[in-house]
């Protein structure tokens, strides 16, 4: 299952930040990690990942550096900034609250629908 | 003949060089190194990816329309992405299919990358687009403004200037003009050389007003008889009337003609066969020569100028005749002055009203002066007759007529300045703005003599802030109601009001209001000042009437009365009020001469002590209020009285600079 665009627009950046919490990563690595850990639910469109990263960089939530990668080709690694960590912590709390609230409505159950 | 084509290898080398130049950052170029660090094509070509993948990346990069450095970074990232994917065992085709549409990717990347740019760039971009937007809006508004035109529908001019009802024989204007021509005023009587560094105040005027230009050190100018006359009068001669007596005695016929013309009931219309420049009486109310409508006419009606010249000549003639002991001639000239006032009152324009005030000032000034210095000029019957005519002059009564004329002038101005939506509203037009510039509204002094381009550029902005036609009319009615209220107040009330309200400072707000309400202020300001002039003239009239009564009493009783009460009712119906006290005018005899006075704006009786010669010889409210602010830097009025009879000054000449007679040109020559 894939999330609808509007839902993904809110969840995507937070998911990317969460992936980066464990350490710096490059683009394709993040795509793979997101798809794998979320069973494809949070599979970010590859053409939208990079704009998302650039936006996060513009907001100062992530920073990047370029390193020689495979066969000497430049590869850009992204990492969380201090501001990004604080932002992620806030987002985490909000998401937890949201999930709890949705579950209390029965939306988090396997059957779905209202209790 | 054949043309040798360049060697293909040379062309390729040149192309490669150009390509390296284009893809090298400025920093490297300035160091003389063509690094081609931004050459994305080369990087794509060097990659191990398949042509479709390379084409996909190229397409995305091309569509981003980013800076070379940004494109290069994105290209590196996407190349790394696909290489990493291939390295992880994914097929290129699968990677391409999961990548998404190049156009979408390019659009998102472009948007995100631009967000990463510096704050300076964002500020510059915001400023740029703001400017573009404002300019576009201003231009669009300007186009709308320039297409709006006033719609002149009512011929207010015809309303105020009905066709003459009297026969031509009753028209005074042709006779005045014939008399002026007979006086040889245009005859050149000498040629004078004046230098630019002259200290003579009148000669200085000649240079200051640019009459001689500024590129020469000295100039020789012809002096006409008219210039000689005015120079003699206004150049502070010891006794100008003695100098002028010979000339006035030589032209007694012309003065008889003037006095006879003054006895006629009307000035009559302007000759239809003469060009009077801006002044015009066309049947078509939208005639372009009508200029600034009634307001323009008010300052250009040649009849007012003719009346002004006749006024000066009659004043001088009365003074000359009195000095020669020719009482009847002096009285006849004074009566002619009063008749001229009646003729001038026909012209429903502001200048005629102000001209009338000026004329009355000349009459009271000359009559009061002769009464105090040469009472033998007048017989008893002369004095009674003059007093009777003088008492008929009522400045306050004519103000109402003037108020109506002001309203009509304003309505005429509105239809020349605003568009007309047919429901009493409209917006300011460029034509209207130009008209207001022409009228020289004080608020537009900021834009005095602007270049045409600047004026055109600023005009839509001024139109934007100007009030609507309906608002203008409402504001004018409110202003007129307020002015009428002020006309009814006493001088004490006037002074209290003016001195208690803080003077409006010359701030941007004043200019702003002036710009917004220019059309209203143009007319209202003139009306406001006229009321004060009328009130002050009535005070002078009352004082001279008391002076006449005192002289008649002295002749009958052989001495001055103990108090003014003795004059009532045989010589005076009632003692006029002191304009600054709830009491009659004050009176005393000093050095064997009577003195009639008001306590003045300070409100206390200083025993008839006059101020040191007030400007123009007559104290005015304006001068008093101005002094109120200047007494040792403290609020208060100077400690003296207003001596109203006899007046302190020697001459009572019309306060005006000479202008040429009925003509469309203005003579700046001060002589």
Q: How far is A94 from chain B (nearest CA, A)?
A: 25
Using only C-alpha atoms, chain B has a radius of gyration, in whole angstroms, of: 40
pLDDT-based confidence at residue B612 (cuts at 50, 70, 90) = low
Distance CA B378, CA B335 (A): 12
Residues of chain B contacting A66 with CB distance shorter than 8 Å? 76
Query: What is the model's pLDDT at position B667?
Result: 33
Largest CA distance in chain A: 57
- Using beta carbons and an 8 Å cutoff, which residues of A are at the interface with B? 26-29, 31-32, 45-48, 50-55, 57-58, 66, 69-71, 73-76
Distance CA B334, CA B389 (A): 11
The predicted-structure confidence for B171-216, as pLDDT tens digits, reads as follows 999 999 999 999 888 888 888 888 878 777 667 766 666 555 556 7
Residues of chain A contacting B115 with CB distance shorter than 8 Å? 54-55, 58
Q: What is the mean pLDDT of chain B?
A: 78
- For B237, residues 6+ apart whose C-beta sits below 8 A from its C-beta are B243
Q: What is the mean pLDDT of chain A?
A: 83
Query: What is the model's pLDDT at position B51?
Result: 93
Distance CA B302, CA B274 (A): 11
- CB nearest to B77's CB, from A29, A55, A76: A76
Mean pLDDT for the stretch of residues B657-669: 33
How would you write A88-105 as a 3-class SS string? HHHHHHHHHHHHHHHHHC
Query: What is the model's pLDDT at position B409?
Result: 76
Cβ of residue B67 closer than 8 Å to a chain A Cβ: no
Mean pLDDT for the stretch of residues B507-511: 67
Does B449 have pLDDT greater than 60? no
β-strand A62-68 against B586-590: which pairing, if any?
A: unpaired
Nearest C-alpha in B relative to A78: B77
**DSSP tag of B655:** S
Q: How far is B79 from chain A (nearest CA, A)?
A: 8
Distance CA A37, CA A31 (A): 10
The predicted-structure confidence for A19-55, as pLDDT tens digits, reads as follows 999 999 999 999 888 888 877 777 777 778 899 999 9
Query: What is the model's pLDDT at position B337?
Result: 94
Residues of chain B contacting A57 with CB distance shorter than 8 Å? 116
The predicted-structure confidence for B488-507, as pLDDT tens digits, reads as follows 877 777 777 766 655 555 56
- Asked if B116 lies within 8 A of A48 by C-beta distance, the reply is no
- CB nearest to B77's CB, from A27, A29, A70: A27
Cβ of residue B111 closer than 8 Å to a chain A Cβ: yes
Q: B interface mutation test: which of A28, A31, A48, A81 has the most B CBs within 10 A?
A: A28
Residues of chain B contacting A46 with CB distance shorter than 8 Å? 81, 95, 98-100
Q: Is B205 helix (H, G, I), strand (E, B) or coil?
A: helix
- Asked if A51 lies within 8 A of B112 by C-beta distance, the reply is yes
Query: What is the model's pLDDT at position B669?
Result: 32
Residues of chain B contacting A76 with CB distance shorter than 8 Å? 73, 76-77, 80
Mean pLDDT for the stretch of residues B371-378: 93
- Asked if A27 lies within 8 A of B81 by C-beta distance, the reply is yes
The neighbour count for residue B493, using CB atoms within 10 Å, is: 11
- Asked if B112 lies within 8 A of A27 by C-beta distance, the reply is no
- CA B357 to chain centroid: 21
Query: What is the model's pLDDT at position B278?
Result: 47
The predicted-structure confidence for A65-81, as pLDDT tens digits, reads as follows 988 766 677 889 999 99
The predicted-structure confidence for B128-141, as pLDDT tens digits, reads as follows 999 999 999 888 87
Spatial contact of B441 and B522, defined as CB atoms under 8 Å apart: yes
Residues of chain B contacting A29 with CB distance shorter than 8 Å? 84
Mean pLDDT for the stretch of residues B145-173: 82
Residues of chain B contacting A69 with CB distance shorter than 8 Å? 80, 83-84
**DSSP tag of B442:** G
Distance CA B391, CA B369 (A): 18
Q: How far is CA A84 from CA A20, A38, B231, B300, in A?
A: 10, 21, 89, 78
Query: What is the model's pLDDT at position B661?
Result: 35
Q: Which tops the pLDDT comparison, A5 or A12? A: A12
- Asked if A69 lies within 8 A of B84 by C-beta distance, the reply is yes
Mean pLDDT for the stretch of residues A4-14: 76
Mean pLDDT for the stretch of residues B72-89: 90
- CB nearest to B113's CB, from A27, A54, A70: A54
Tokens representing residue A101 in the block: 């609230």
Distance CA B316, CA B370 (A): 12
How would you write B27-61 as a 3-class SS string? HHHHCCCCCCCCCHHHHHHHCCCCHHHHHHHHHHH
Cβ of residue B668 closer than 8 Å to a chain A Cβ: no
Distance CA B36, CA B25 (A): 7
Does B271 have pLDDT greater than 80? no
Q: Which tops the pLDDT comparison, B440 or B264? A: B264
The predicted-structure confidence for B416-444, as pLDDT tens digits, reads as follows 888 888 888 888 887 777 777 665 544 44
Nearest C-alpha in B relative to A48: B105
Nearest C-alpha in A relative to B94: A46
DSSP per-residue string spanning A12-37: HHHHHHHHHTTS-EEHHHHHHHHHHH
- CB nearest to A73's CB, from B80, B104, B112: B80
Containing H/E element for B535?
A: helix B518-557
Which residue in B429, B316, B433, B306 sits closest to B365, CA to CA?
A: B316
Q: Match 């000349």 to its residue by tokens.
A: B362
Q: How far is A16 from chain B (nearest CA, A)?
A: 16
Distance CA B230, CA B436 (A): 33
Residues of chain B contacting A32 with CB distance shorter than 8 Å? 88
Q: B interface mutation test: which of A46, A63, A66 has the most B CBs within 10 A?
A: A46
- CA B1 to chain centroid: 79
In percent, the amount of chain B with pLDDT more than 70 equals 74
Most confident listed range (A95-99, B21-25, B383-387, B581-585):
B383-387
DSSP per-residue string spanning B553-587: HHHHHSS--SSGGGGTTTT-SSPPBPTTSSSBPEE
- Asked if A58 lies within 8 A of B115 by C-beta distance, the reply is yes
β-strand B188-195 against A74-80: which pairing, if any?
A: unpaired
Strands, E, within B169-276: which ranges? 188-195, 218-224
Query: What is the model's pLDDT at position B294?
Result: 55
Helices (H), B38-118: 40-46, 51-64, 68-87, 92-99, 102-115
Distance CA B312, CA B226 (A): 11
- Taken as a whole, chain B contains a residue count of 671
Query: What is the model's pLDDT at position B598?
Result: 87
Spatial contact of B398 and B345, defined as CB atoms under 8 Å apart: yes
Spatial contact of B459 and B430, defined as CB atoms under 8 Å apart: yes
Query: What is the model's pLDDT at position B502?
Result: 56
What strand order describes the sheet that includes B593-598? B586-590, B593-598, B642-645
Does B636 have pLDDT greater than 70? no
DSSP per-residue string spanning B395-422: HHHHHHHHHHHHHHHHHHHHHHHB---S
Q: Which tops the pLDDT comparison, B70 or B305? A: B70
Query: What is the model's pLDDT at position B27?
Result: 86
Mean pLDDT for the stretch of residues B223-247: 78
The neighbour count for residue B68, using CB atoms within 10 Å, is: 16
Residues of chain A contacting B111 with CB distance shorter than 8 Å? 51
- Asked if A32 lies within 8 A of B111 by C-beta distance, the reply is no
pLDDT-based confidence at residue B47 (cuts at 50, 70, 90) = confident
Q: Which tops the pLDDT comparison, B232 or A85? A: A85
Tokens representing residue B107 in the block: 């659009």
- CB nearest to A57's CB, from B78, B104, B116: B116
The neighbour count for residue B413, using CB atoms within 10 Å, is: 26
Query: What is the model's pLDDT at position B653?
Result: 41
The predicted-structure confidence for B241-256, as pLDDT tens digits, reads as follows 888 888 888 888 999 9
- Asked if B80 lies within 8 A of A47 by C-beta distance, the reply is no
Does B275 have pLDDT greater than 70? no
Nearest C-alpha in B relative to A72: B80
How far from each other are the two terminal CA atoms of chain B, in whole angstroms? 87
- Asked if A51 lies within 8 A of B100 by C-beta distance, the reply is no
pLDDT-based confidence at residue B28 (cuts at 50, 70, 90) = confident
Using only C-alpha atoms, chain A has a radius of gyration, in whole angstroms, of: 16
Does B450 have pLDDT greater than 60? no
Does B654 have pLDDT greater than 50? no
Does B658 have pLDDT greater than 50? no
Query: What is the model's pLDDT at position B280?
Result: 44
Cβ of residue B88 closer than 8 Å to a chain A Cβ: yes
Partner residues linked to B188 by β-bridges: B224
Query: What is the model's pLDDT at position A115?
Result: 34
Tell me the ipTM for this assembly: 0.84
The predicted-structure confidence for B545-560, as pLDDT tens digits, reads as follows 999 999 999 999 999 9
Query: What is the model's pLDDT at position B71?
Result: 92
- CB nearest to B108's CB, from A29, A51, A69: A51
The predicted-structure confidence for B394-407, as pLDDT tens digits, reads as follows 777 777 777 777 78
- CB nearest to B84's CB, from A52, A55, A70: A70
Does B311 have pLDDT greater than 50? yes
Query: What is the model's pLDDT at position B290?
Result: 43
- Asked if A50 lies within 8 A of B78 by C-beta distance, the reply is yes
Nearest C-alpha in B relative to A57: B116
Q: A interface mutation test: which of B60, B100, B108 has the most A CBs within 10 A?
A: B108
pLDDT-based confidence at residue B334 (cuts at 50, 70, 90) = very high
Q: Which tops the pLDDT comparison, B143 or B586? A: B586
Cβ of residue B79 closer than 8 Å to a chain A Cβ: yes
Spatial contact of B286 and B203, defined as CB atoms under 8 Å apart: no
Mean pLDDT for the stretch of residues B650-666: 37
DSSP per-residue string spanning B255-322: HHHHHHHHTSSB--PPPTTS--TT----SSTT-GGGTTHHHHHHHH-HHHHHHHHHHHHHHHHHHHHH
């Amino acid at each position: 299952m894939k999330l609808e665009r509007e839902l993904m627009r809110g969840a995507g950046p937070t998911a990317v930040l969460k992936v980066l919490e464990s350490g710096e990563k490059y683009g394709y690595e993040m795509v793979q990690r997101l798809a794998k850990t979320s069973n494809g639910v949070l599979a970010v469109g590859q053409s939208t990942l990079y704009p998302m990263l650039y936006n996060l960089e513009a907001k100062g939530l992530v920073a990047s550096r370029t390193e020689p990668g495979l066969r000497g080709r430049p590869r850009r690694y992204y990492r969380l900034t201090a501001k990004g960590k604080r932002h992620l912590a806030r987002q985490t709390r909000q998401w937890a609250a949201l999930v709890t609230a949705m579950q209390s409505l029965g939306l988090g159950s396997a059957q779905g629908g209202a209790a | 003949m054949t043309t040798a084509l360049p060697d293909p290898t040379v062309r390729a080398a040149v192309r490669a060089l150009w390509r390296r130049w284009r893809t090298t950052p400025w920093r490297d170029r300035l160091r003389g190194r063509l690094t081609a660090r931004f050459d994305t094509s080369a990087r794509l070509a060097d990659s191990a990816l398949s042509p479709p993948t390379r084409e996909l990346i190229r397409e995305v990069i091309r569509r981003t329309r980013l800076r070379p450095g940004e494109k290069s970074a994105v290209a590196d990232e996407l190349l790394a992405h696909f290489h990493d994917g291939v390295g992880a065992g994914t097929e290129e085709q699968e990677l391409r299919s999961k990548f998404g549409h190049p156009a979408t990717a390019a659009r998102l990347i472009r948007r995100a990358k631009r967000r990463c740019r510096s704050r300076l760039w964002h500020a510059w971009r915001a400023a740029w687009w703001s400017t573009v937007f404002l300019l576009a809006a201003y231009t669009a508004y300007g186009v709308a403004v320039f297409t709006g035109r006033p719609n002149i529908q009512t011929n207010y001019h015809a309303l105020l200037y009905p066709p003459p009802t009297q026969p031509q024989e009753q028209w005074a204007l042709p006779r005045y003009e014939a008399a002026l021509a007979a006086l040889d005023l245009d005859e050149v009587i000498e040629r004078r050389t004046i230098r630019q560094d002259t200290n003579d105040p009148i000669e200085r005027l000649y240079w200051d007003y640019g009459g001689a230009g500024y590129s020469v050190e000295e100039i020789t100018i012809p002096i006409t008889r008219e210039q000689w006359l005015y120079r003699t009068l206004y150049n502070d001669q010891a006794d100008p009337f003695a100098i002028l007596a010979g000339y006035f005695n030589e032209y007694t016929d012309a003065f008889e003609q003037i006095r006879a013309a003054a006895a006629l009931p009307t000035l009559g219309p302007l000759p239809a066969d003469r060009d009077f420049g801006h002044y015009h009486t066309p049947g078509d109310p939208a005639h372009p020569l009508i200029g600034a409508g009634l307001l323009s006419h008010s300052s250009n009606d040649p009849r007012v100028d003719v009346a002004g010249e006749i006024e000066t000549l009659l004043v001088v003639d009365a003074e000359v005749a009195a000095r020669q002991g020719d009482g009847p001639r002096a009285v006849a000239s004074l009566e002619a002055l009063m008749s001229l006032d009646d003729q001038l009152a026909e012209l429903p324009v502001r200048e005629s009203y102000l001209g009338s005030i000026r004329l009355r000032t000349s009459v009271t000034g000359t009559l009061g002066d002769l009464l105090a210095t040469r009472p033998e000029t007048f017989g008893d019957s002369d004095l009674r007759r003059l007093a009777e005519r003088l008492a008929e002059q009522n400045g306050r009564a004519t103000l109402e007529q003037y108020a109506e004329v002001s309203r009509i002038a304003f309505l005429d101005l509105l239809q020349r300045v605003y568009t007309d939506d047919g429901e009493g509203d409209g917006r300011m037009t460029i034509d209207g703005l130009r008209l207001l510039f022409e009228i020289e509204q004080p608020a537009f002094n900021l834009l005095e003599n602007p270049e045409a381009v600047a004026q055109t550029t600023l005009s839509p902005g001024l139109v934007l802030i100007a009030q609507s036609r309906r608002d203008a009319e409402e504001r004018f009615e409110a202003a007129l109601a307020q002015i009428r209220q002020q006309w009814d107040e006493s001088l004490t009330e006037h002074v209290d009001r003016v001195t208690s309200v803080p003077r409006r400072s010359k701030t941007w707000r004043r200019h702003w209001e002036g710009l917004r309400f220019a059309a209203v202020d143009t007319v209202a300001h003139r009306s406001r000042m006229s009321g004060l002039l009328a009130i002050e003239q009535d005070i002078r009239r009352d004082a001279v009437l008391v002076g006449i009564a005192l002289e008649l009493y002295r002749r009958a009783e052989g001495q001055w009365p103990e108090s003014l009460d003795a004059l009532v009712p045989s010589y005076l119906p009632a003692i006029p009020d002191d304009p600054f006290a709830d009491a009659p005018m004050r009176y005393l005899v000093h050095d064997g001469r009577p003195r009639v006075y008001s306590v003045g704006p300070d409100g206390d009786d200083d025993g008839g002590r006059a101020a040191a010669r007030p400007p123009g010889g007559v104290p005015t409210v304006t001068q008093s209020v101005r002094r109120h602010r200047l007494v040792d830097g403290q609020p208060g009025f100077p400690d003296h009285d207003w001596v109203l009879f006899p007046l302190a000054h020697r001459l009572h000449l019309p306060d005006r600079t000479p202008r040429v007679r009925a003509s469309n040109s203005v003579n700046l020559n001060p002589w």
